[in-house]
Amino acid sequence: MADYKDYYKILGVGKTASDAEIKKAFKTQARKCHPDMHPESEKAKWTEKFKDLNEAYTVLSDKQKRTIYDQVGQQGYQDYARGGGASRASSGAYGGNPYQQYQQYTYNGNGAQGFGGFPGGNGQFSGADFSDFFQSIFGGMGGGFSGFGQNFGRSAAAGQSSGDVEAELTLNLEDAHRGGPMQMTLPNGRTVTVKLPAGVSEGKKIKIKGMGNPTRKGQGDLYLVVKIRPHAMFHLEGDDLHVPVVIMPWTAALGGTIAVPTLDGPVQVKVPAGTHNGKKLKLSGKGLSAKGSLFVTLTIDVPRTLSKEQKDLLTRLAQIS
C-alpha cells in the first residue's frame, strides 16, 4: 500500500483554502517545478515533483475528489493500509476497498487525465502518472469525466427530453487545442469514442446520442460540457491565449528575435528595438483555435550576475547616457 500523500502540503495551502487560492498556488508552484525550467541533469527529480503537484491539484480542484480525500484523511488511510488494504476481511472497519463506491468511471484520452507539459518540451503527463496512493483511493476517477449523479448525470437544460443528461468533460489545454478521437468508459460499462473538434472551447456541449437515461420513449442523450484545466504557462480567455516571456535588457533596447511558446511548439518572433517592459505582441491564429490569438507580454529581466566585460559595458553606457 502506498504512503499517504498530503496534497495540501504539496500545494502549500491550508485545508480551508478556497478554490481560488488552490488555483493560484498551483500556477505559482507549476512554474517553479516544471522540469522544462530546470537543467537536464535535474529533470528526473523535478518531473517527480511536478507529477505530485499535478496530482494534488487534480484532487483539490475537484469538489467531489476533495471531499473524498478529506473524508478518508491520513489516519483513515493508514488504518486501511495497516489492515491489508483491499484484501482486508469485509468484517473489518475498512473492509474490502472502502473507496470502491467512488470508482465509477474512467477516461482514456491523449493525456487528458494529467497535466500537459510546456509546448515543445518533454513534460507530458497522463493518467498513468498518478501515484499508487491516488489510484488506491480514486481508482478510475483520474479521468476527465465528472458530474455524474445516480443516473450518471444531471438533468440537461430545459426544453430537452427528461432522458437527456449532462456531465463535465475536463480537458487539458493541449487536448482541447488538438481535438481528435478520445475513448471513454461510461458508468454503465459502455465504451464510446468521442471525436472532439480541434480548438473546442470552455462550455462547449458535445452530444453523444443514446447515452442518456432511459425513458418510456427510448434512451436519452448524454451532453458532455467541456471544462478546460488551468495551465502553468498559458492563460485562456475565450479563444485567446496569454503568455509571459522574459527578455534581456539588450534585446529590449536593440531589438532581436526570441522564441515564443505556443500550443503547436515554439515560434520565432521579432522584438522591435526600444521595447518597454510590459509590451504586448499579438500572434494571430496562435490561440486555442485558428480564430484565437496569442498575446505575448514581454518582461525585461535584469541579470543577477554579470561578467567583468558586461559590467564595463554597462558602466560605459551609464557614463554616456
What does the pLDDT look like over 136-160, one tens digit per residue?
Answer: 776 544 444 443 433 444 555 544 4
Pick the CATH number of 235-320 from 2.170.190.11, 3.10.129.10, 3.30.365.10, 2.60.260.20: 2.60.260.20
Rounded to the nearest angstrom, the gap between the alpha carbon of residue 296 and the centroid of all alpha carbons in its chain is: 21
Q: What is the pTM of this model?
A: 0.53
Q: H or E element: which one contains 54? A: helix 43-60
Q: How confident is the model at residue 105 (pLDDT cuts 50, 70, 90)?
A: very low
> What are the backbone angles phi and psi of residue 103, rounded to the nearest 5°?
-90, 80
Task: Answer whether 115's CB lies under 8 Å from 171's CB.
Answer: no
Task: Answer whether 80's CB lies under 8 Å from 100's CB.
Answer: no
**Which of 62-66, 156-160, 245-249, 265-269 comes out lowest in average pLDDT?**
156-160
- Numbered ranges of CATH 2.60.260.20 in the chain: 7-228, 235-320
- In this structure, what C-alpha cell is assigned to residue 179? 481535438
- In this structure, what C-alpha cell is assigned to residue 135? 489510484
Q: How confident is the model at residue 129 (pLDDT cuts 50, 70, 90)?
A: low
What residues contact 45, with CB distance under 8 A and at least 6 apart?
none
Cα gap 199→179, rounded to integer Å: 7
- Residue 187, pLDDT score: 58
Task: Answer whether 153's CB lies under 8 Å from 162's CB.
Answer: no
Task: Answer whether 178's CB lies under 8 Å from 112's CB.
Answer: no
High-pLDDT (> 90) share of the chain, %: 21
Fold exhibited by the domain 7-228: HSP40/DNAj peptide-binding domain (2.60.260)
Q: Please state, rounded to an integer, the average pLDDT across all residues of the chain.
A: 75
Give the mean pLDDT of 84-101: 37
Look-up: residue for cell 476533495?
A: 66
- Residue 121, pLDDT score: 36
- Residue 29, pLDDT score: 86
